Amino acid sequence: TVEVADDEELDDEEKQYKAPSKVSFADERMPADSSTDDQVGPVLIGDKALVHQLDLAKKAYGSYHIGAILCRRDYSLWLRAGDLASEIASIHTTIMELPGLPDEKIEAQREEKQRWMEEAKNDYHAADTLKPPGIDIPAKLAYTMIELGLLSEALTRITDLKDTSDFDASYRAWLL
């Protein structure tokens, strides 16, 4: 759980528009009684923008992911869900780099980052199986595999990409 340090008093009208002051990093699929809060405790973050960004990214991810599940043949929804999962992993990396964070809380953030990178890989893979035009989606999938340490699978993807005519024109593939 992330708590935002907040010293200001708000009246009832302002509380109505205030974002929640707590955002849970616990796995939403876990039962409520097995929350990881007891193990790692709350992480105090003075940067409200970071907490709100994470909350918004998770909500947007949920929207795109549900939309992709409902419209299975739309690769762009899977792509956007994968992009947001990568962004959430990036936010967890930023949280890990905050000064004064204890090692066990850094490890909890690292596990969350890993989980979101897995989500991104799964979403990019779902988009790639729909055979989208261009090679940007397979390039994102290969990059995500590299981040997860799946180097042989990533190398296989990159090798397959090199055989396409779009490889030289793609900036993403060139960066790999």
How does pLDDT run across 118-157, given as a tens digit for each residue?
A: 999 999 999 999 988 888 888 899 999 999 999 999 999 8
Predicted TM-score (pTM) of this structure: 0.69
Q: Starting at the earlier edge strand, list the strands of the sheet with 22-23.
A: 22-23, 2-4, 43-45
Q: CB neighbours of 165 closer than 8 A, spacing ≥ 6?
A: none
Best CA proximity match to 50, nearest among 15, 88, 9, 84: 88
